[in-house]
Amino acid sequence: MSKVTFDGVTKVYEGGEVAVQDFTLELVDGEFLTIVGPSGSGKSTALRMVAGLEDITEGDIFIRDRRINDVPAQNRDIAMVFQNYALYPHMSVRKNMSYGLKMGTDLPEDEIERRVDEAAEMMGISDLMDDRPEQLSGGQQQRVATGRAIVREPEVFLMDEPLSNLDAKLRTHMRIELQRIQEDLATTTIYVTHDQEEALTMSDRVAVLNEGELQQVGTPEEVYNEPANHFVADFVGNPSMNFFDVALEDRTLVELGGSFEYQLPADIADTVNRRTSGGEFIFGIRPEAIEITDDESAETVEGYVDVVELVGSDNFVYLTINDESCILRTPADGAPEEGETVSITFNHDNVHLFDPETRENLTTETQVAEPPEP
């Protein structure tokens, strides 16, 4: 069982900069976990501590049940794919893929060749084995770097923003390829990215980091639909969640600038009132949870259409509600006209209220998802 455990892991650099703070998390065998966060959030530092490229200040990291804090990097049975691929420019693809096995193991030559050929076939690069990195495209170099990791047959794959240097179309294709390979090999994988789309589409679970602290761990659906706090709600999602400062009076949300009032569903109001006695909150609603309606019986809010942007099969509609701005997402064939005044309604199932002090989401109990069954 190649489970990975972070137990209270902290990294403090010289000078006192805290890169990772009390990071606790467990991956089960075969899990694909993505650590996502903005630049400087500590996600790459967490990965590098697993790899043995950064010392651990406090806490422990285990692979299986073996504490690896003081185990040399080459003895940790991990394989890492870097952002810049780290290929040797003077070596052929075949030599790049086999070099680690020839230098770091006692495997016989025929076993090394078998592994290299199988990995090349899996990555679709069998016809490139005599080429050098300078002759390869970015996508081909990424495949070689991944193939080099595969031949190691490690207990854990570590991937540090491996797709960030590719164009958008190739990134999408390689996301699918990496998912397929990880599922075929069933190797525990920790993947680091700042790209939330990668995190949400590739992972069994997502861990959201900010300023070195773990904000939430959950399935992609949980992180998106039930964000633990204001940061997760704001960071995850494109476009971002809309936010309004509101007061709760009985069941009625009153926007503090006087832009609108909204009747909160009883179950949500009860949940919020059970968890806090405060009267002011941050109201959050995702763009796709705001609908334009002609239903006169529905509870609606009026908004002025400032801009309509066509984005593929959808439109982003930018509204002004009195002095407040918001954005909604509609199908391309259902967009209003710019300059039009429309009536909108909020989907009750996607309403969030955040504590303005703690930033905690008061409308959901989901904070952390358990690891999937091995």
For residue 110, which amino acid is it?
D
Closest by CA to 86, choosing from 51, 39, 56, 42, is 51
Question: Is-contact 179 198, C-beta < 8 A?
Answer: no
Q: What is the pLDDT of residue 248?
A: 86
Residues 6+ apart with CB under 8 A from 103: none
Q: What is the pLDDT of residue 88?
A: 94
Q: What is the pLDDT of residue 182?
A: 92
Q: What is the pLDDT of residue 270?
A: 82
Residue 348 has pLDDT above 90, yes or no: no
Q: What is the pLDDT of residue 373?
A: 60
Residue 367 has pLDDT above 60, yes or no: no
Q: What is the pLDDT of residue 168?
A: 84
CA distances from 89 to 92, 99, 104, 120, 219 (A): 8, 13, 20, 18, 39
For residue 236, which amino acid is it?
V
Residue 338 has pLDDT above 60, yes or no: yes
Give the tokens for residue 24.
């606790």
Q: What is the pLDDT of residue 93?
A: 97
CA distances from 220 to 125, 196, 367 (A): 31, 10, 13
Q: Where are any strands of DSSP class E within the chain? A: 4-12, 18-27, 32-36, 58-63, 66-67, 78-81, 156-160, 188-193, 205-210, 213-218, 242-249, 252-255, 261-263, 280-285, 290-292, 301-311, 314-321, 324-331, 341-346, 351-354
CA distances from 159 to 50, 106, 350 (A): 11, 26, 33
Residue 63 has pLDDT above 80, yes or no: yes
Residue 345 has pLDDT above 80, yes or no: yes
Residue 40 has pLDDT above 60, yes or no: yes
pLDDT band at 303, cuts 50/70/90?
very high
Interval 213-267: pLDDT, tens:
999 999 999 999 999 999 999 999 999 999 999 998 877 888 888 888 888 888 8
Q: What is the pLDDT of residue 302?
A: 92
Average pLDDT over residues 353-359: 93
Residues 6+ apart with CB under 8 A from 340: 304, 305
CA distances from 353 to 18, 200, 276, 320, 329 (A): 30, 23, 11, 21, 20
Share of the chain above pLDDT 90, in %: 74
Give the tokens for residue 227.
């964000």
238: which DSSP letter? S
For residues 127 and 200, give the distance between their C-alpha atoms in angstroms, rounded to a whole number: 33
Domains, the chain, with CATH or none: 4-230 (3.40.50.300), 233-354 (2.40.50.140)
For residues 51 and 53, give the distance between their C-alpha atoms in angstroms, rounded to a whole number: 6
